[in-house]
Structure 1
Amino acid sequence: MPDRDAALETIQRELTAFARRARHKAAQMHPDLSLVTYSMLDLVKERGGCRAADLAAYFMLDKSTVSRQVTALERLGLLTREADPDDQRGQLLRPSDAGLRVLAEAAEQRRLAFTARFDDWPDEDVARFAGYLARYGAAD
């Protein structure tokens, strides 16, 4: 068990460091976007639009927190609201053209960074690591 405990401690430490680097990188990509607002904008794009309640549920945040983040994205011109065709009382959030550009630029920066980070890894190791990350994420 000591080897497993040490491995779990290393995993926890490395994932914490990964999260800190992700927050730092998000600030570098767009100085006005936090990792949370960037992640929300990315999810809205991925889903082709969604409601603020969907963001709250996905990120396990209260609605007031999501409302502040959505308002910040709107003020930056990165997100728009439109009437929900399935519920006229609700609103769908969609990335604006500027929001799509920010996301595309960030995706390219991430692709380049990951390509460089794994450049000296054998393809099998990269595939194995990807599988492990997918398996870890699937637990949620």
Structure 2
Amino acid sequence: MAPNSAATRPKDELDLADQLGHELVRFMRLITKAKTQVSKQGPDGIERAAYAILFCLIHEGPQRTSKLAEFLHSEISTISRQSSALVQHGLVERQADPEDGRACLLAPTAEGLRVFDENRKQRNLWLADVLGDWSQEDRETLNELFGRLNTGIENNFPDMTDAVPAQPGHSSHTANSKGA
């Protein structure tokens, strides 16, 4: 991996990275807006954020609450509250941990799998509408590049040990005025 220094990167590479950063911030804002349009709670009264737990359990298998909190970058108390709602609605069940009988694992139920599939179908219909006027080739390219971007992010988390702390009330750039 190349050194992580502005002095060692060509200006055009940094300019493209800045444009991508702007588009990623814009993308995250739009996704957040879309999620709030769906509402904070689904029709079943479960917080939308709790579905991230269901997603994780379906894709990663049964997990302890602490592992879910780590995976979802959340507080254990938040995961406990949200997972309790999922258990009450029959979407997740508690199972004895085979490695430690005193602990429990959370796992999706058959109903949880059904609800997850229904939510995924709705998301897929929305994304198909978003990309409806794109060519098949463009949609395939987007999927390939998005996958590469995600893999790159997973493999290169920022090292903030050399970061310069921001001065209170002082900004060295105009990222906020440009939407970052």
| TM superposition score category, shorter chain reference | 0.7 to 0.9
Instruction: State whether structure 2 residue 92 is matched by structure 1 residue 92.
Output: no
Q: What residue number does 2:126 align with?
A: 113
Q: How far 1:7 sits from its partner (Å)?
A: 4.8
| 2:61 aligned to which of 35, 48, 73 | 48
What is the CA RMSD across the aligned residues, in angstroms?
Answer: 2.3
SS in 2 for 1:60: coil
Amino acid at match of 1:37: A
Structure 2 gaps of 5+ residues are: 1-10, 155-180
1:38 aligns with 51
Deviates more, 1:125-134 or 1:76-85: 125-134
| TM-score, reference length from structure 2 | 0.67
| % same residue | 29
My pick for the range that moved more, 20-29 or 111-120, is: 20-29
Does residue 82 of structure 1 match 2:95?
yes
Measure how far apart 1:37 and its partner are.
Answer: 0.3
How high is the TM-score relative to the length of structure 1?
Answer: 0.83
| Residue number among 31, 34, 45 corresponding to 1:18 in the alignment | 31
Q: Compare CA radii of gyration and give the structure with the larger one.
A: 2
Q: Which moves more between the two structures, 45-54 or 30-39?
A: 30-39
| Structure 1 residues 90 and 18: CA distance shift in structure 2, 3 A | same
How far 1:36 moved relative to its partner?
Answer: 1.8
**Residue equivalent to 1:101:** 114
SS in 2 for 1:88: strand
Comparing both structures, which one devotes a greater share of its residues to helix?
A: 1
Q: 8 Å contact 2:66–2:76 — kept in the other structure? A: yes
Secondary structure of 1:101 counterpart: helix
